[in-house]
Amino acid sequence: MQFVPFEKDIEVNGQTVYAIIDGMAAFKSIGKRFLLEAGIGEEVKGEYKIDPNGWYSHEMWLKAFERIAKEIGENTLYQIGIKIPKNAKFPPWVNNIENAIKSIDVAYHMNHRKNNVALFNQKTGEILEGIGHYGFEKVQGENMIISECNNPYPCSFDRGIITTMAKKFESTASILHDDSKPCRRKGKYSCTYTIRW
Ligand SMILES: [Zn+2]
């Protein structure tokens, strides 16, 4: 189900949060207002400030997404997703479409923490649970990946993230939402995307 956290006490880093503003283009001032009203960031002398190294409530960030969906529209969620790879931290080993898609789940956990502990341990490579996943399944013998995303972020936002990561290495890649599978927009817990190149 989109916009509803799986667990309490999850936080997201400020650098990632900034993607909302970056992705809202002409609506930047609305993005800032939604974030402020969700208690994320602060206004100093009329300027919106967010600490890129700070940590902010995942629950309230999701509420800001919900308002964007309701008051502005789905396409803006997609545009924010498109900007995520530019704003969030990604692992350094990404050099082709396969590991680019695989890296999304690692990056996702690098940029969230629970009870002050990062959900990705850089030293051991261990991923802790609490926020769901971005799936990766390579189809043997074909230039095709299936990504089942079971996390509380919205459907169109994830399509944006996957699109940017895929096109980074295969500019003609096509990224489709599999409409025959469950969809978070319909109250389900996952969405499935197919990436072909
Ligand atoms: Zn969906």
Please report, for the chain, the start and end positions of each structural domain, with discontinuous segments joined by +.
10-196
Instruction: Indicate the SS3 state at residue 10.
Output: strand
Question: pTM here?
Answer: 0.95
- Token reading at 123: 């030293």
Cα 25 to middle of ligand 1, angstroms: 24
Cα 105 to middle of ligand 1, angstroms: 17
* pLDDT tens-digit series, residues 43-89: 999 899 999 999 999 999 999 999 999 999 999 999 999 999 988 88
- Biggest distance spanned by C-alpha atoms of the chain: 58
CATH number for the domain formed by residue range(s) 10-196: 3.90.1520.10
- Token reading at 159: 């399509």
* pLDDT tens-digit series, residues 123-161: 999 999 999 999 999 999 999 999 999 999 999 999 999
Cα 162 to middle of ligand 1, angstroms: 13
